Chains A and B, each alone.
Chain A
């Protein structure tokens, strides 16, 4: 029984690993192929099945004048917009979430839970509903086709995620922690920054990670709100496509675009493990 269990366990782990890693391996090998290696039947092993070429990768950095797409600028645009919007969303979202968790707000029938739901409801409606208001709004303040305009839109989209995660997290932090800090001599701001916030780092990391993911993968708003001055990575990658699908450069760009998320996942992996997150405050 024990042996069978062990065998099945390792079998499923191996199966799952292959299932997860295979697309990456396939993209990696494809990125080094050329037209003939892709279209002349399935090929798997470099130097054996096909001769590896760097053309797929070169296209990404060559200027359009030389037949490339140059994703370097869009790449850094995406990094800048995502990181800035995520950072601002986390700061604003955390402060809002703390207030919603610790203080009682009442305006007519609207109470704390309704305000929290209002934030979450921003993510419930389909993005298309927001596209026209955003377009008109950014147009009115002359920020269409600009990084700042995109950052503003992304803050609106990402802050609900931060509020949602952090309200839940702060609700699990006992109020006695804040009260103890007050008794120990902190004012409410010091209690928040010196005691509650350091205790909430796992929550902040999870919220930050979700903000980064949702910011980084957005195509819809980047496509609608930018034209020629500013481009973000997802829009640029789509522009790679043509009548003959360039699988090699698409694969290379897919790997390049997923790389930051993999790095983020590695960094926060230890905080995502059950022990670290649930044991943050007892």
Chain B
């Protein structure tokens, strides 16, 4: 278990081109010992490259990596003492489940007793005890992925366990249990876990800290609450949350107000320097509610449709050519035609050039 520092890391797969395209733009970051991190972003945004750089499978084009303040940039993968679990199960077909789980320990010359103890402990955690003597190739895809996961967790002294969308092939119920199990392992053994995913729910429920990436860029890193309530960019607002954040093209009408289709909406942001500039107002559908006793910050909208999604209703309304989505209580009675929606000033995010002000 180590603190991992990534200093000015960047990477390109075509360094000899006169104008190389970067899979990963320069960024710096510290992963604290014993915490859970999720790297979240759409496919092809550089998540796996980042993970491979940390594990040493890819050498970064620039920058350095430190494990507990020791530079490991030029250290080979096998000498880094890191574990990595890939998206699809990777097992050693010719070995039994026990041999698969014991392999990382055997490679590092652990004592036989210690190997038995660790393999049994991991097998118990992952419910693999009854398969220990079976040939690994005969197991189902999700059991095989458990073996991959087990090989990642079997070493106690590992610097970090890197997981690249490890639960893709696992069915939803087991996925939920495994995520919880991983959290328990992290809490008990203080193993640093880094979890790559494109599923925001997975990231939100798993991690202490989420790193959101887009097109090779780290766009925001923070707690799930920070990402949800104060997205740094419109991309994060759009990517995190379901439905995506409501974003309205607007302009500043005073020091702290914007005008949406002629209606003045107050925000808590100082907009004095942004008068007459194109800006965007962002607000989560969770924070918009049907106005009952509020008097300010109201938008008069026309109800387009109301969908009952089980534990909440999703109201879609329009105001001129603007579409607004609001998550409301199941019990709330929604008028069928016109309705007033309340936009709380403290929850408004204002963006200039898609960046939060």
Q: Interface of A with B (CB < 8 Å)?
A: 174, 176-177, 179-180, 182-187, 190, 195, 198-199, 201, 279-282
Is B108's CB under 8 angstroms from A183's CB?
no
Q: Within 8 Å of chain A (Cβ to Cβ): is B309?
A: no
Cα of A187 to Cα of B56 in the assembled complex, Å: 13
Q: Within 8 Å of chain A (Cβ to Cβ): is B228?
A: no
Q: Within 8 Å of chain A (Cβ to Cβ): is B93?
A: yes
Interface range, B side: 20 to 34
Is A180's CB under 8 angstroms from B151's CB?
yes
Q: Within 8 Å of chain A (Cβ to Cβ): is B61?
A: no
Give A132 Cβ to nearest chain B Cβ, in Å.
Answer: 44
Give A109 Cβ to nearest chain B Cβ, in Å.
Answer: 16
Q: Within 8 Å of chain A (Cβ to Cβ): is B191?
A: no
List, in ascending order, chain A residues with CB within 8 A of B137's CB: 279, 282
Give A102 Cβ to nearest chain B Cβ, in Å.
Answer: 13
CB-nearest residue of chain B relative to A198? B94
Give B115 Cβ to nearest chain A Cβ, in Å.
Answer: 13
Cα of A201 to Cα of B103 in the assembled complex, Å: 20
Q: Within 8 Å of chain A (Cβ to Cβ): is B131?
A: no
Given A198-B94, A201-B94, verify A186-B88 contact (CB < 8 Å).
Answer: no
Q: Within 8 Å of chain A (Cβ to Cβ): is B257?
A: no
Q: Within 8 Å of chain A (Cβ to Cβ): is B31?
A: no
Give B129 Cβ to nearest chain A Cβ, in Å.
Answer: 21
Cα of A177 to Cα of B76 in the assembled complex, Å: 17
Is A281's CB under 8 angstroms from B93's CB?
yes
Is B83's CB under 8 angstroms from A183's CB?
yes
Is B57's CB under 8 angstroms from A182's CB?
yes
Is A180's CB under 8 angstroms from B84's CB?
yes
CB-nearest residue of chain A relative to B104? A184
CB-nearest residue of chain A relative to B148? A180
Not counting A179-B57, A183-B57, a sample of 8 additional A-B residue pairs whose C-beta atoms are within 8 angstroms of each other reads A177-B90, A183-B55, A185-B107, A186-B107, A187-B76, A198-B94, A279-B137, A282-B89
List, in ascending order, chain B residues with CB within 8 A of A182's CB: 56-57, 76-78
Is B90's CB under 8 angstroms from A280's CB?
no
Is B77's CB under 8 angstroms from A195's CB?
no
Given A180-B84, A180-B86, verify A186-B94 contact (CB < 8 Å).
Answer: no
What 0/1 readout, one digit per residue, does chain B (266-304) give for beta carbons within 8 Å of chain A? Answer: 000000000000000000000000000000000000000
CB-nearest residue of chain B relative to A177? B90
Q: Within 8 Å of chain A (Cβ to Cβ): is B238?
A: no
CB-nearest residue of chain A relative to B151? A184
Is B107's CB under 8 angstroms from A180's CB?
no
By Cβ-Cβ distance, the 7 closest A-B pairs, closest first, are A185-B107, A184-B104, A198-B94, A182-B77, A180-B90, A176-B90, A176-B86
**Most chain A CB neighbours (cut-off 10 Å) among B76, B83, B94, B148:** B94
**7 sampled A-B residue pairs with Cβ under 8 A:** A179-B86, A180-B148, A183-B104, A187-B78, A198-B92, A198-B94, A281-B93
Is A199's CB under 8 angstroms from B78's CB?
no
**Most chain B CB neighbours (cut-off 10 Å) among A179, A184, A198:** A184
Is A184's CB under 8 angstroms from B93's CB?
no
Cα of A279 to Cα of B108 in the assembled complex, Å: 30
List, in ascending order, chain B residues with CB within 8 A of A179's CB: 57, 77, 84, 86
Residues of B45-96 contacting chain A, CB below 8 A: 55-57, 76-78, 81-84, 86, 88-90, 92-94
Cα of A199 to Cα of B95 in the assembled complex, Å: 10
CB-nearest residue of chain A relative to B80? A183
CB-nearest residue of chain B relative to A179? B57
Is A184's CB under 8 angstroms from B107's CB?
yes
**Most chain A CB neighbours (cut-off 10 Å) among B104, B107, B144, B151:** B107
Give B164 Cβ to nearest chain A Cβ, in Å.
Answer: 9
Cα of A282 to Cα of B139 in the assembled complex, Å: 11
Residue among A185, A187, A195, A201 making CB contact with B92, cutoff 8 Å: A195
Is A199's CB under 8 angstroms from B93's CB?
yes
Is A176's CB under 8 angstroms from B107's CB?
no
What 0/1 readout, one digit per residue, does chain B (21-59) give for beta carbons within 8 Å of chain A? Answer: 000000000000000000000000000000000011100
List, in ascending order, chain A residues with CB within 8 A of B92's CB: 177, 195, 198-199
Give B35 Cβ to nearest chain A Cβ, in Å.
Answer: 21
CB-nearest residue of chain B relative to A281? B93
Residue among A183, A279, A280, A281 making CB contact with B84, cutoff 8 Å: A183
Is A185's CB under 8 angstroms from B90's CB?
no
Residue among A176, A185, A281, A282 making CB contact with B78, cutoff 8 Å: A185
Is B93's CB under 8 angstroms from A176's CB?
no
Cα of A280 to Cα of B355 in the assembled complex, Å: 50
Is B103's CB under 8 angstroms from A184's CB?
yes
List, in ascending order, chain B residues with CB within 8 A of A187's CB: 76, 78
Residue among B81, B88, B144 making CB contact with A176, cutoff 8 Å: B88
Cα of A245 to Cα of B95 in the assembled complex, Å: 56
Cα of A176 to Cα of B84 in the assembled complex, Å: 10
Give A257 Cβ to nearest chain B Cβ, in Å.
Answer: 35
Give A198 Cβ to nearest chain B Cβ, in Å.
Answer: 4
Cα of A281 to Cα of B86 in the assembled complex, Å: 15
List, in ascending order, chain B residues with CB within 8 A of A177's CB: 90, 92
Cα of A259 to Cα of B78 in the assembled complex, Å: 48
Cα of A174 to Cα of B78 in the assembled complex, Å: 19
List, in ascending order, chain A residues with CB within 8 A of B108's CB: 185
